[in-house]
Chains A and B, each alone.
Chain A
Amino acid sequence: MSTAALLEVKGLQVAFGGKTVVRGVDFNIQAGEKLALVGESGSGKTVTALSLLKLALNADVQGQARFDGQDLMQLSERQLRGVRGSDIAMIFQEPMTALNPLYTVGNQIAEVLQLKQALSARDALQAAVELIAKTGIPEAARRAQAYPHQLSGGQRQRAMIAMALACKPRLLLADEPTTALDVTVRGQILDLLTDLQRETGMAVLLITHDLHLVRKFADRVAVMEQGHLVEQGPVDTVFANPQHAYTRKLLASRPERNVVERLAATDNAAPSAVIEAAAVNVAYPVPLPGFKGWFRQGQFDAVKNANFVLRPGLTLGIVGESGSGKSTLALAALGLLPFTGALHLTGQTWSRDAQANKALRRAVQVVFQDPFSSLSPRMTVEEIVGEGLVVHAPELNAAARRSQVLKALEEVGLDEVQFPGLLARYPHEFSGGQRQRLAVARALIVQPQVLVLDEPTSALDVTIQKQVLALLQRLQREKGLSYLLITHDVDVIRAMAHDVIVMKDGDIVESGTVEQVLDAPQNPYTQRLVAAAQ
């Protein structure tokens, strides 16, 4: 009896409308154990966790999940409600949507306590404040009165954790608990989870795609691929000696550096620059609070006094967390936002006249983060990729344009052999990585000198990220492109960049070559950023 697992999942199958997404998964969690469920998006890891509590909507669930001797799958909805929250609790990826925006966080936590532990309203609120204090939010009593939007992302996730732990569950399901957070905050949340786990002795099922997280946090790891559990075992064993091909692929997905390194001589001989920014400022108008806002507008400085240089054929990485102004800087460099200061691109600068900007538009192109919103769903591949030619080479006829489109698609690794009727297809038929290739092809067709890459791989799975980065590296080698690479991911910077600038709250806090900045960071913020990525 003592060896019986806390949770014993056997032959779990989940299907949505006849389409099976989890195909026979078996795993156990012992009391107090930390198991990580790893896989890429679409592998079925979140659905597995949700269906343990029958929280997956419209799902057809089969198999067994014995929690403490009773099969969760056989419980009635009423009995399950007793289990949810008190025995098994859950925290979600995005705390902004997981918390109700209309109630204070204190109220929401107190509600759980009132329901599950039949505390009086006053006692529950008192207990909620204690829980909030325990998760490391300063001024807990005041913070309990705050609404979710008044807290920072990290604090919201802490409040979610406080809520999940309110009834001292024996199993915590943590679904990508740090993915929506900034890198430096991730570490803190993970430390908090580790501390609380040690203190309460609960078991944790951590669902994640982040291998750093697994290595730091979990005892055992289970790897999922397309609904199958392909490998499980102690973290050290699996990481040191992966058995399954997919696990090996996942472990090898850290991006590799394969770029043309800068020649030592160019450092001295006053090299040319494709982008040269001096004292660039970008400000947004913001409404002022109260009646003051009726008469004038406030100003939010998104980028303050930015100076940087992008050398031809090299990559300048801009690294920072959300809200640091790095994407704003990219939009200003693209001439899509008004700015003050001097910004010279290939010797020219943006003017207010659209006609005058035309040549410069051709020289500077962009690839955005989200491959799903960056391609119009109602245009075909030919229309999307060919658009730049319509604008910049209107003299081409349809046939000439088509052959150039095909050439650009071939350069990014998409061809007719792979996709019959490629040109007539719509974006929804392509996966995230393939869409990102389409976005690169759209930018390349006008033969730009500079490519602004705004988080080009953040929305992609790790194995796909590696492929897309390799593609970008190859294109740089072949065409001598210069990249302005915006990212929050230090691994990507390490693989791609020659020079780096670090941004925080609109300021450039550190800049230099990639070796200087990443190997010997001077600024405390940079040091934290680099440390968080280890």
Chain B
Amino acid sequence: MTDSTNPSAPPSLGPSRRAWLRFKRNRLGFWSLVIFCTLVVLSLFAEVISNDKPLVVRYQGQFYYPLVNDYPETTFGGDFLTPTDYLDPFIREKINADGNWAIFPINPYGANTLNYFAKEPNPSRPTRDNWLGTDDRGRDLLAQLIYGFRLNVLFGLALTVIGVFLGVLTGAIQGFFGGKTDLFFQRFIEVWTSMPELYLLIIFSAVFAPSVSLLLILLSLFGWMGLSDYVRAEFLRNRQMDYVRAARALGVDNWRIMWRHILPNSMTPVVSFLPFRMSAAILALTSLDFLGLGVPPGTPSLGELLSQGKNSIDAWWISLSTFAVLVVTLLLLTFMGDALRDALDPRKAAQ
């Protein structure tokens, strides 16, 4: 250590920027991130990709937007005032005749669309109409997978965000204040951890009407303890550091010390666990759905499809394609997690 570090060199990048560059250098992790983000963004537009309503209809010189408005069948020359079933061959004919036209999504089925006009018995194997086949009620499998993927990923994301928020908050308070606060919280966490999560879920699903938000709240209540311990340990370590003492000597208040000084230096375990936590959250929802304790019936979800696959074992396309989606999702998250862990590892950083 001499006092002659190359002074004329331009200022180098901040720690997080350098970590990002190291992350990018891991091709597998980087491309996993790109693919995963693409898939998530695409699934956010699921209504445009897979829907039983056309995007635009031109009928007798007028434009109709069935995605936004519901039109009765009589609009297109049908007999009833019920909402139009655009898969009805009669309506199809009307819409496509006499210079009328309609633009359908790539996959013309919604998540709960029953194909009453299927040419095969349910569950139907993959056909020209249903690319991945249908389930035992005649719902298109591809549509179910798209909507199910969206639900699972968004649920996992929400669960992770809430878990991180609670975990960081409680861990920070325990680690920073220490002493009696820490002692109390630790005992509370021990009591809380010993509650049987699955039984609570069963009880709650009997008492309340099952819904996604109820499930989110219940799982969040038990999803923050692991992270809390890591953050607590980091805070306990970092609050001893001289830079925290120096900040105290400057008269910086506790919240600012926690937020500006300790938290940025304690985020490594939080960030490197994010993808793993998210895959665990996705898996949790999937397994609850598989057991029938998860989202309400009729909601498209990967776990529900898996249990359908189990029930109709001959319909190999159900279990196989659901399994494939699940494996790809979890694999992408795991690759991202590996890359992130390497990027944030100070020992690898030195090389």
Contact = CB atoms under 8 A, between A and B. Distances in A.
A434 interface: yes
B5 A376 contact: no
Contacts of A442: 246, 250
Interface centre among B247, B250, B265 (most CB of A within 10 A): B250
A380 to B, nearest CB: 7
B115 to A, nearest CB: 56
Nearest to B266: A378
B3 interface: yes
Contact of A418 (B7, B14, B264): B7
Interface in B1-42: 1-5, 7-8, 10-12, 14-16
B10 A420 contact: yes
Contact of A378 (B3, B8, B242, B264): B264
Contact of B12 (A40, A387, A426): A426
A226 B1 CA distance: 9
B5 A365 contact: no
A368 B245 contact: yes
Contact of A373 (B242, B250, B251, B261): B242
A42 B3 contact: no
B15 A426 contact: yes
B128 interface: no
B12 A429 contact: yes
A362 interface: yes
A368 B3 CA distance: 19
A42 B1 contact: yes
Contacts of B12: 425-426, 429
B245 A40 contact: no
Contacts of B202: none
Contacts of A439: 246
Interface centre among A354, A387, A464 (most CB of B within 10 A): A387
Contact of A375 (B8, B14, B243): B243
B248 interface: yes
A431 B264 CA distance: 22
Nearest to B261: A376
A42 B16 CA distance: 27
Nearest to B254: A354
A425 B11 contact: yes
Interface string B229-253: 0000000000001110111111111
B2 A40 contact: yes
B247 A378 contact: no
A461 B1 contact: yes
Contacts of B250: 361, 365, 387-388, 391-392, 442, 446
A284 interface: no
A95 to B, nearest CB: 23
A419 B11 contact: yes
Contact of A434 (B3, B15, B242): B3
Contact of B251 (A17, A391, A467): A391
Nearest to B346: A377
Contacts of B16: 378
A460 B265 CA distance: 24
B1 A431 contact: yes
B194 interface: no
A361 B351 CA distance: 41
A419 B242 CA distance: 25
Interface centre among B7, B8, B16, B256 (most CB of A within 10 A): B7
B246 A368 contact: yes
Contacts of A42: 1-2
B243 A373 contact: yes
Interface in A361-391: 361-362, 364-366, 368-370, 373-380, 383, 387-388, 391
Contact of A336 (B10, B11, B248): B248
Contacts of B265: 376-378
Nearest to B264: A378
A420 B8 contact: yes
A63 B86 CA distance: 83
A421 B1 contact: no
A284 B229 CA distance: 26
B255 to A, nearest CB: 11
Contact of B246 (A366, A392, A429, A430): A366
A99 B1 CA distance: 27
A358 B249 CA distance: 10
A19 to B, nearest CB: 11
B348 interface: no
A369 B246 CA distance: 11
A41 B3 CA distance: 11
Interface in A407-439: 418-422, 424-426, 428-434, 439
A370 B264 CA distance: 20
Interface string B323-351: 00000000000000000000000000001
Contact of B11 (A17, A357, A370, A424): A424
B119 interface: no
A47 to B, nearest CB: 14
Give 5 nearest A-B pairs by CB, closest first: A361-B251, A374-B242, A421-B11, A368-B242, A378-B264
Interface of A: 17, 40-42, 226, 331, 334-336, 354, 357-358, 361-362, 364-366, 368-370, 373-380, 383, 387-388, 391-392, 418-422, 424-426, 428-434, 439, 442-443, 446, 452, 460-461, 463-464, 467
9 contacts: A361-B249, A366-B246, A376-B264, A387-B250, A391-B251, A431-B1, A431-B2, A442-B250, A461-B1
Given A336-B248, A365-B249, 7 more contacts: A365-B250, A374-B242, A375-B243, A418-B7, A432-B1, A439-B246, A464-B1
